[in-house]
Amino acid sequence: MTPTRLVLASPRGYCAGVDRAVDTVERALDHFGAPVYVRKEIVHNWHVVQELADRGAVFVDSELDVPPGAVVVLSAHGVAPEVYENSRSRGLQVMDATCPLVTKVHVEAKRFAADGYTIVLIGHEGHEEVVGTMGEAPDAIRLIGTVEEIAELDIPDPERVAYITQTTLSVDETVEIIAALRERFPAIVGPKKDDICYATQNRQNAVKELAAEVDLVLVIGSRNSSNSNRLVDVTREMGVASYLIDDESSIEPAWLEGVDTVGITSGASAPESLVERVVDHFRELGATQVESHELVNENVHFSLPLELRRAVG
pLDDT of residue 22: 98
What's the pLDDT tens digit per position in 39-84?
999 999 999 999 999 999 999 999 999 999 999 999 999 999 999 9
Residue 158 has pLDDT above 80, yes or no: yes
What's the pLDDT tens digit per position in 252-265?
999 999 999 999 99
Q: What is the mean pLDDT of the chain?
A: 97
In the structure, what pLDDT confidence band is assigned to residue 234 with cuts at 50, 70 and 90?
A: very high
In the structure, what pLDDT confidence band is assigned to residue 239 with cuts at 50, 70 and 90?
A: very high
In the structure, what pLDDT confidence band is assigned to residue 168 with cuts at 50, 70 and 90?
A: very high
pLDDT of residue 152: 96
Residue 243 has pLDDT above 90, yes or no: yes
pLDDT of residue 170: 87
pLDDT of residue 313: 81
| pTM, entire model | 0.95
Catalytic residue among 41, 63, 128, 129: 129
- For 38, residues 6+ apart whose C-beta sits below 8 A from its C-beta are 25, 52, 57, 58, 59, 60, 72, 73, 75
Active site residue 129: yes
**Domains, the chain:** 5-14+198-294 (3.40.1010.20), 16-99+302-312 (3.40.50.11270), 101-184 (3.40.1010.20)
Residue 171 has pLDDT above 90, yes or no: no
What's the pLDDT tens digit per position in 262-282?
999 999 999 999 999 999 999
Q: In this prediction, what percent of the chain has a pLDDT beyond 70?
A: 100
Angle at 167 between CA 165 and CA 169, to 5 degrees: 80
In the structure, what pLDDT confidence band is assigned to residue 4 with cuts at 50, 70 and 90?
A: very high
